[in-house]
Amino acid sequence: MRAVFVMIKTEPGHATEVANRVAEVESFSECYSITGQYDLLAKLYISDVDGLGRLIERDIHAIPHIRDTFTILTFEAFGAG
């Protein structure tokens, strides 16, 4: 499984609603409110990198009140210890 982070810009006043809908996505792990250009940071786990585009388009972009996303694909995890 590979972690994918998706930064999400929502329409004003809809961040909580969007976060709750993102939590319903099958590959969902965590979602945080953030400051800056984007409103939410979602962590997803995928097994098929080739299906990432379909996941973002079908499951994330289909959620009402999302204005924009920025997806970060991870390669290697580092741990303390």
Taking the CA of residue 77 as centre, how many other CA atoms within 13 Å lie in the half-sphere pointing to its CB?
8
Q: What pLDDT, on the 0 to 100 scale, is given for residue 76?
A: 86
Q: Among 3.90.79.10, 3.30.70.920, 3.40.50.11540, 3.30.1700.10, what is the CATH number of 2-73?
A: 3.30.70.920
pTM, 2 dp: 0.91
Residue found under tokens 């995928």: 46
Nearest to 27 by CA among 56, 67, 63: 56
The predicted pLDDT at position 33 comes to 98
Whether the pLDDT of residue 81 is over 70: the answer is no
For residue 21, the tally of other CB atoms under 10 A from its CB is 19
What was the pLDDT predicted at 51? 85
Summarize pLDDT for 22-79 with one digit per residue, the tens. 999 999 999 999 999 999 999 999 998 888 988 999 999 999 999 999 999 999 888 8
